[in-house]
DNA sequence: CCCCCAGGTCTTTTT
DNA sequence: GACCTGGGGG
């Protein structure tokens, strides 16, 4: 991405632009881009198709505002989607402006809100040292609440409750609102209200915010305290929001609040005093100018509350809005763009927009169908090796997938092929148990009122303090109204605790007190409870010394708990890896201390809470990047693999019944395709192991939406089982006999939905690509179209259209395998059957191969034949 | 109080 | 296949 400028043909050839005027901020931009840079006025919408150079436009716009003295850097608030994008933007601005980026806020919604909340926390009963609960913390808290209220018998789980609460909070709704609108005769709704209320209370007691609160509470803060809002409204004169299509209602409201004018009655409280030239004709400070950038075709976060209407209705929303459309793509070849256009064109609920490029067609998209996900992964690994041999850097290659669980097979093959790779997101470093344990110490040190962190800290490593002791301490803490640490110090006052536990607890409390003193830099000043009035003098402690480096605090914790030593002492090799992870955490803390000297523990915890999946991407790492399609948004790579392009995966099974679900999945596919610059590979498998057993997979409907002339199949879905001609034999063999139960049902469905593919250069395809329909009942339409497609295909199968490859699934029929049989496998060679499990079409053979060892195979579908005994 | 094992449940995507 | 829960034994 750093070399984007170099690859930008607009810069190289000038295109249709007027001759360069010698302005570095405008030269090399196309006319639309220029308009977006120089446009002024209250509101600007930049509709930026994928790869149309929007980051460049945004940075140039900001630089232009500053260079033309229309704004000080400190008057700019730029919101990006990830911290990485923010860092990149700041870097590019530095390149354009030199040093003049001091004081500019370039950050994510969440980081910006934390910054505001930490400053203003005291105004609404929080302490600035509040904890940020990630989803796991929220769920841990909800789990306790659900158990306390016996709500699990009503089907409430931490996961579904947390999702529902999150959704409500994204709509800026709280428990009181919910209670007033719910159907009170429904016991489930009443119970949910109780859970929600308890959850809010517990968060407050813990001095903690969850992710959604960060936005929502900031909005509440602004609404409840116009004087606070006035400070920020006055400060930020230009607000720019990237990826606007993925903003939710809370984020939208935040932007709305910030772009309102400051009314005359608020002016008096502002410091420094308001000067005449800041005011408009009505004696107000006018609202900030707003620039939003987005692409409704790339809206993929509806599940998180993102509301596509925010961007679609922007013009209605902000009157006098100017609109600039960027459609020229500087990233991909025409073939890739044509595929992307073809796919997204099937979403009928969008404004038509076509990406185009001045570059040539480029290579065709390469397609491959493996018969299993291992086969698919093997192809990916081999192609990566080829690309690398031909001179492409590993860092220029990315592999995308829909679900995190798909990484397993890919990693296995990449390891075997000695290809350096890294997985972004997924099981994150900070999700590991041992890391969470260590982090719990740091969190409880920063916020001794946080029960989740305290409880985790108490139990790890095991020290003989169990749930009973924990409950006694927690009760004492609540009754006395002290911090958890103070409760521990006074363990002697709790008669229910045994002498041994008392000693352990007091010693632990002593260690925490030392660590706290270090972390806060004071002489052991106890952090005050979350009460607004008292919190004031917490900050006025002039005698405070500088906080110690985070690494020192962590070192104290690790040393005194002997966490690393205890792990090393175990004989499980996994525990060695855990010990190394803790060493790694220490290294991360040292790195943080070096990057931000004196920032302290709280800043470290904040940063860790807000890292996004794409943030740990290191452009210089020189490794292949693996990530979900969601994480891929905003990134680009010369070579891209999209894997698992199957029905049920993309579109994901879960989305099929959701309102607009298919359309969102299609956008996800579109995002994936448009990440590729030169080479795009689309792969799938005809069987996939899920849940431990193996199921038949069908090619994704999105695959059929790509014109076949754009794809060069190395192995098409129709060919995959065609080796040795067994497929046709199997297909003529008719319906599988005796396939009972659910497996039979799924089998017959698969047989009915044969897919027509132009494998091997077949002519005009009869592929059932449905016409874009008009209307707005998208879900119903989706279903109807799906049914139409299936009907058409069924007809095609029966009527025998010439290009239809009848049946794309191998079928070994009722091949009987028994213990001890020798078989030959197309890929693995010869092997011996150890066992056969399952029944019907789900029969699985456990085979030890001479070359690769034990494998499990679906008898019906595996490319195997029985050797004579 | 802690460890181990059997059995049930689940899997979309993430700041 | 992985993770969590609950019961039994040490």
Domain identity same for A629 and A646: yes
Domain identity same for A138 and A285: no
- Our answer to whether residue A675 is catalytic in this structure is yes
Residue range A487-499, pLDDT digits in tens: 999 988 888 888 8
Domain identity same for A462 and A509: yes
Question: Is the CB of A260 less than 7 A from some atom of nucleic acid strand B?
Answer: no
The pair phi, psi for residue A554, each rounded to 5°, is -65, -40
Residue A678: pLDDT over 90? yes
CA distance A744 to A382: 36
pLDDT-derived band at A681, boundaries 50, 70, 90: very high
For residue A561, what is the domain's CATH number?
1.10.486.10
pLDDT-derived band at A857, boundaries 50, 70, 90: low
Domain final position from A590, A614, A638: A614
Domain identity same for A300 and A350: no
Residue A788: pLDDT over 70? no
A158-CA/C5-C1' distance, Å: 15
For chain A, percent of residues with pLDDT exceeding 70: 80
Domains of chain A: total:
5
Q: Which nucleotide is nearest to A691 (CA to C1')?
A: C1
Q: Which nucleotide is nearest to A615 (CA to C1')?
A: B15
- The listed range with the strongest mean pLDDT (A49-58, A539-548, A860-869) is A49-58
For residue A242, what is the domain's CATH number?
3.40.50.300
Q: Which nucleotide is nearest to A690 (CA to C1')?
A: C1
* Residue A600, in any domain of the structure: yes
Average pLDDT, whole number, for chain A? 79
* Residue A597, in any domain of the structure: yes
| Contact positions of strand C to protein Cβ (< 7 A) | 1-2, 5
Residue range A397-421, pLDDT digits in tens: 999 999 988 998 898 888 888 889 9
CA distance A40 to A661: 37
Residue A494 has what pLDDT? 86
- Our answer to whether residue A276 is catalytic in this structure is no
pLDDT-derived band at A790, boundaries 50, 70, 90: very low
Closest CA to A454 of A478, A432, A428, A431: A478
Look up tokens 């990530």; give the residue: A627
Q: Does A838 count as an annotated binding residue?
A: no
A462-CA/C10-C1' distance, Å: 17
Marked catalytic residue, from A33, A34, A35, A54: A54
Residue A500: pLDDT over 60? yes
Reduce the DSSP state of residue A838 to 3 states and report it.
coil
pLDDT-derived band at A520, boundaries 50, 70, 90: confident
* Residue A42, in any domain of the structure: yes
Residue A810 has what pLDDT? 52
- Our answer to whether residue A118 is catalytic in this structure is no
Reduce the DSSP state of residue A68 to 3 states and report it.
coil
Mean pLDDT of A819-834: 79
Domain final position from A206, A229, A263: A206
Question: Taking the CB of residue A433, how many other CB atoms lie within 10 A of it?
Answer: 11
Domain identity same for A168 and A41: no
Cα angle A193, A196, A200 (rounded to 5 degrees) comes to 140
Reduce the DSSP state of residue A45 to 3 states and report it.
strand
Residue range A434-469, pLDDT digits in tens: 888 999 999 999 999 999 899 889 888 888 888 888
The region of weakest confidence among A2-6, A90-94, A351-355, A515-519 is: A2-6
Residue range A20-32, pLDDT digits in tens: 567 877 888 888 9
A746-CA/C10-C1' distance, Å: 48
Closest CA to A731 of A677, A812, A793: A812
Domain identity same for A461 and A568: yes
Mean pLDDT of A821-850: 73
* Residue A316, in any domain of the structure: yes
Marked catalytic residue, from A259, A291, A298, A674: A298
Question: Is the CB of A403 less than 7 A from some atom of nucleic acid strand B?
Answer: yes
List the structure tokens of A198.
């308890």
For residue A178, what is the domain's CATH number?
1.10.10
Domain identity same for A505 and A575: yes
A689-CA/C1-C1' distance, Å: 10
Give chain A residues 135-164 with Cβ within 7 A of strand C.
143
Question: Is the CB of A574 less than 7 A from some atom of nucleic acid strand C?
Answer: no
Mean pLDDT of A121-142: 85
Q: Which helix (H) or strand (E) holds A641?
A: strand A637-642
Domain identity same for A472 and A596: yes
CA distance A61 to A39: 9
CA distance A739 to A747: 8
The residue lying closest to nucleotide B9, measuring its CA against C1', is A691
pLDDT-derived band at A670, boundaries 50, 70, 90: very high
Higher pLDDT, A789 or A96: A96
A692-CA/B8-C1' distance, Å: 15
Closest CA to A676 of A399, A410, A379, A421: A399
Residue A768: pLDDT over 80? no
Give chain A residues 106-135 with Cβ within 7 A of strand B.
108-110, 134-135
Residue A687: pLDDT over 60? yes
A162-CA/B10-C1' distance, Å: 17
Domain final position from A680, A715, A750: A715
Residue A175 has what pLDDT? 92
Reduce the DSSP state of residue A582 to 3 states and report it.
helix
Question: Is the CB of A692 less than 7 A from some atom of nucleic acid strand C?
Answer: yes
Alpha helices (H) in A24-97, listed in sequence order: 31-38, 54-67, 83-97
Marked catalytic residue, from A243, A246, A489, A538: A243
List the structure tokens of A400.
């995308």
Question: Is the CB of A617 less than 7 A from some atom of nucleic acid strand B?
Answer: no
pLDDT-derived band at A834, boundaries 50, 70, 90: confident
pLDDT-derived band at A697, boundaries 50, 70, 90: confident
Show the beta-strand stretches assigned E in A643-686: 676-685
Residue A842 has what pLDDT? 55
Domain identity same for A630 and A608: no
pTM to 2 decimal places: 0.78
Domain identity same for A595 and A492: yes
Q: In what order do the strands lie in the sheet with A365-370?
A: A421-423, A624-628, A397-401, A637-642, A676-685, A365-370, A711-715
Question: Is the CB of A846 less than 7 A from some atom of nucleic acid strand C?
Answer: no
Question: Is the CB of A630 less than 7 A from some atom of nucleic acid strand B?
Answer: yes
* Residue A103, in any domain of the structure: yes
Q: Does A748 count as an annotated binding residue?
A: no
A518-CA/B3-C1' distance, Å: 36
Q: Does A381 count as an annotated binding residue?
A: no
Residue A68 has what pLDDT? 86
Residue A827 has what pLDDT? 67
Residue A124: pLDDT over 70? yes
Q: List CB contacts of A389: < 8 A, sequence separation 6 or more.
A: none
Residue range A190-242, pLDDT digits in tens: 889 999 999 999 999 899 999 999 999 999 999 999 999 999 999 999 999 99
The region of weakest confidence among A263-277, A522-536, A668-682 is: A522-536
Residue A811 has what pLDDT? 56
End-to-end CA distance of chain A: 59
Q: List CB contacts of A490: < 8 A, sequence separation 6 or more.
A: A476, A480, A482
pLDDT-derived band at A385, boundaries 50, 70, 90: very high
Give chain A residues 67-106 with Cβ within 7 A of strand B.
82
* Residue A409, in any domain of the structure: yes
Residue A869 has what pLDDT? 56
Domain identity same for A704 and A844: no
* Residue A260, in any domain of the structure: yes
Closest CA to A216 of A116, A98, A285: A116
Cα angle A691, A694, A695 (rounded to 5 degrees) comes to 105
Residue A672: pLDDT over 60? yes
- The listed range with the strongest mean pLDDT (A67-81, A265-279, A525-539) is A67-81
| Contact positions of strand B to protein Cβ (< 7 A) | 1-3, 10-15
Question: Taking the CB of residue A213, how many other CB atoms lie within 10 A of it?
Answer: 21
For chain A, percent of residues with pLDDT exceeding 90: 36
Residue A844 has what pLDDT? 67
- Name the DSSP class of A328: B
- Our answer to whether residue A516 is catalytic in this structure is no
* Residue A786, in any domain of the structure: no
Domain identity same for A56 and A151: no
What's the domain range around A77?
Answer: 31-124+214-326
Reduce the DSSP state of residue A16 to 3 states and report it.
coil
């Amino acid at each position: 991405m750093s070399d984007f400028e170099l690859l930008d043909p607009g810069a190289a050839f000038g295109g249709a632009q007027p001759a360069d005027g010698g302005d570095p901020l405008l030269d090399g931009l196309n006319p639309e881009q220029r308009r977006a840079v120089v446009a002024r006025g209250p509101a600007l919408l930049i509709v930026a198709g994928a790869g149309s150079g929007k980051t460049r436009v945004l940075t140039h716009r900001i630089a232009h505002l500053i260079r033309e003295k229309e704004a000080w850097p400190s008057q700019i608030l730029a919101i990006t989607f990830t911290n990485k994008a923010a860092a990149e933007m700041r870097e590019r601005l530095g390149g354009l402006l030199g040093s003049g980026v001091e004081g500019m806020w370039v950050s994510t919604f969440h980081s910006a809100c934390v910054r505001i909340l930490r400053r203003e926390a005291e105004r609404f009963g929080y302490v600035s040292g509040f904890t940020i609960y990630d989803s796991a913390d929220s769920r841990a808290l909800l789990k306790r609440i659900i158990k306390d209220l016996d709500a699990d018998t009503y089907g409430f789980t931490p996961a579904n409750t947390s999702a529902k609460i999150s959704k409500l909070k994204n709509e800026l709704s709280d428990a009181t609102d919910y209670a007033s609108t719910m159907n009170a005769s429904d016991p489930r709704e009443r119970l949910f209200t109780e859970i929600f209320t308890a959850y809010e209370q517990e968060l407050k007691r813990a001095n903690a915010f969850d992710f959604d609160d960060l936005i929502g509470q900031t909005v509440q803060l602004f609404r409840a305290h116009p004087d606070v809002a006035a400070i920020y409204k006055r400060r930020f004169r230009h607000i720019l929001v990237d990826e606007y299509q993925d903003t939710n209602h809370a984020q939208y409201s935040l932007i709305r609040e910030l772009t309102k004018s400051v009314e005359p009655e608020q002016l008096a409280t502002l410091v420094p005093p308001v000067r005449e030239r800041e005011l408009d004709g009505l004696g107000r400070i006018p609202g900030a100018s707003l620039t939003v950038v987005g692409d409704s075709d790339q809206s993929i976060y509806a599940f998180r509350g993102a509301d596509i209407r925010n961007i679609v209705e922007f013009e209605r929303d902000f009157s006098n809005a100017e609109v600039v459309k960027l459609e020229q793509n500087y990233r991909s070849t025409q073939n890739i763009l044509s595929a992307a256009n073809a796919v997204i064109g099937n979403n009928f609920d969008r404004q038509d927009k076509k990406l185009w490029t001045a570059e040539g067609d480029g290579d065709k998209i390469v397609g491959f169908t493996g018969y299993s996900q291992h086969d698919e992964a093997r192809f990916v690994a081999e192609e990566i090796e080829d690309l690398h041999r031909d001179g492409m850097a590993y860092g220029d290659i990315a592999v995308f997938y829909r679900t995190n669980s798909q990484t397993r097979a890919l990693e296995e093959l990449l390891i075997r092929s000695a290809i350096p790779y890294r997985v972004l997101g997924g099981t994150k470093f900070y999700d590991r148990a041992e890391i969470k344990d260590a982090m719990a110490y740091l969190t409880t040190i920063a916020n001794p009122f946080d029960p989740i962190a305290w409880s985790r800290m108490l139990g790890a490593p095991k020290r003989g303090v169990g749930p009973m002791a924990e409950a006694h301490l927690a009760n004492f803490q609540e009754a006395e109204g002290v911090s958890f640490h103070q409760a521990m110090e006074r363990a002697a006052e709790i008669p229910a605790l045994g002498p041994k536990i008392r000693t352990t607890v007091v010693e632990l409390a002593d260690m925490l007190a030392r660590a706290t003193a270090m972390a806060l830099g004071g002489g052991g000043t106890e952090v005050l409870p979350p009460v607004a009035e008292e919190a004031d003098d917490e900050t006025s402690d002039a005698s405070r010394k500088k906080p110690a480096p985070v690494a020192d605090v962590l070192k104290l914790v690790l040393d005194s708990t002997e966490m690393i030593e205890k792990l090393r002492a175990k004989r499980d090799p996994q525990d060695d890896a855990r010990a190394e992870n803790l060493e790694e955490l220490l290294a991360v803390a040292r790195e943080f201390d070096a990057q931000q000297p004196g920032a302290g523990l709280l800043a470290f915890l904040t940063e860790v809470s807000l890292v996004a999946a794409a943030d740990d991407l290191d452009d210089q790492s020189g490794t292949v990047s693996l990530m979900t399609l969601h994480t891929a948004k905003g990134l680009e790579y010369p070579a891209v693999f999209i894997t698992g392009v199957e029905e049920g995966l993309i579109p994901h099974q879960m989305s099929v019944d959701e309102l607009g679900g298919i359309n969102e999945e299609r956008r996800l596919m579109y995002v994936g395709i448009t990440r590729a610059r030169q080479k795009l590979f689309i792969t799938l498998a005809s069987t996939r192991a899920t849940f431990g057993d193996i199921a038949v997979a069908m090619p994704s409907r999105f695959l059929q939406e790509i014109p076949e002339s754009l794809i060069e199949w190395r192995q098409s879905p129709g060919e995959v089982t065609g080796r040795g001609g067994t497929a046709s034999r199997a297909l003529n063999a008719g319906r599988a006999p005796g396939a009972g139960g659910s497996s039979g049902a799924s089998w017959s469905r698969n047989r009915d939905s044969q897919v027509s593919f132009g494998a091997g250069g077949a002519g005009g395809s009869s592929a059932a690509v449905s016409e874009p329909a008009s209307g707005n009942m998208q879900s119903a339409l989706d279903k109807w179209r799906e049914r139409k497609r299936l009907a058409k295909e069924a007809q095609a199968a029966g009527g025998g259209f010439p290009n239809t490859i009848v049946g794309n699934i191998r079928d070994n029929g009722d091949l009987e395998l028994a213990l001890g049989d020798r078989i030959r496998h197309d890929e693995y060679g010869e092997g011996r059957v150890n066992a056969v499990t399952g029944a019907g079409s789900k029969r699985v053979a456990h085979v030890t191969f001479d070359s690769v060892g034990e494998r499990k195979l679906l008898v019906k579908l595996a490319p195997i034949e029985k050797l004579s005994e």
